[in-house]
Structure 1
Amino acid sequence: MDKYYSYTDFLKAVGQSKKVDEAEKLLNEIYLDLFLNHIQRKHREEQLMVLIDRALDEKDEKAFHLYATELVALNQDASK
């Protein structure tokens, strides 16, 4: 995730009865950020697969290794 969300900050926002809207906004922001990151990661994964296929078709070993390495790193980041 690009942003850091503190569980403590969330609990503070929830704990303040007059600031329920603030807690709800924070939670919505967290979910939106997670969703957008997921969409961006999936889109980049699809792009890399196309680029890898093209590199294989063109027998471009350098490009293949570059894109494959990025895809592996992307998948490792996603599994954390």
Structure 2
Amino acid sequence: MDKYYPYTDFLKAVGQSKKVSEAEKLLNEIYLDLFINHIQRMYREEQLMVLIDRALDEKDEKAFHLYATELKALHQVTSE
């Protein structure tokens, strides 16, 4: 052991690594939340496209406008 590390420096390093660990956990949680939200938006968009196609096939103008409005709002939220 050619270097001397005071105990206080060791405690500082451990304290910092704990903060980094907590920060990493928080960051991972944020990324996971963003990923799940992205997947949910993609799934809902696919659902809406199917519902819009069905409404067009059935000539259901009310349903078409409802689903198209929701899809438009979904696109606006993702583009912001």
1-structure distance, mates of 2:19, 2:76: 38
Aligned residue in 1 for 2:64? 64
SS, match of residue 69 in structure 1: helix
Q: Which has the larger radius of gyration?
A: 2
Q: 1:55-80 deviations in whole A, cap 9, x for unaligned?
A: 00000000000000000000000001
Aligned residue in 2 for 1:44? 44
Runs of 4+ more than 6 Å apart = none
Superposed displacement of residue 49, structure 1? 0.1
The within-5 A match list for 1:13-32 is: 17=16, 18-32=18-32
Cα RMSD after superposing both structures: 1.0
Could you list the runs of 5+ residues in structure 2 that have no partner in the other structure?
Answer: 1-14
Superposed displacement of residue 30, structure 1? 0.8
2-structure distance, mates of 1:63, 1:30: 35
2-structure distance, mates of 1:75, 1:60: 22
TM-score, with length taken from structure 1: 0.78
What letter corresponds to residue 21 of structure 1 in structure 2?
A: S
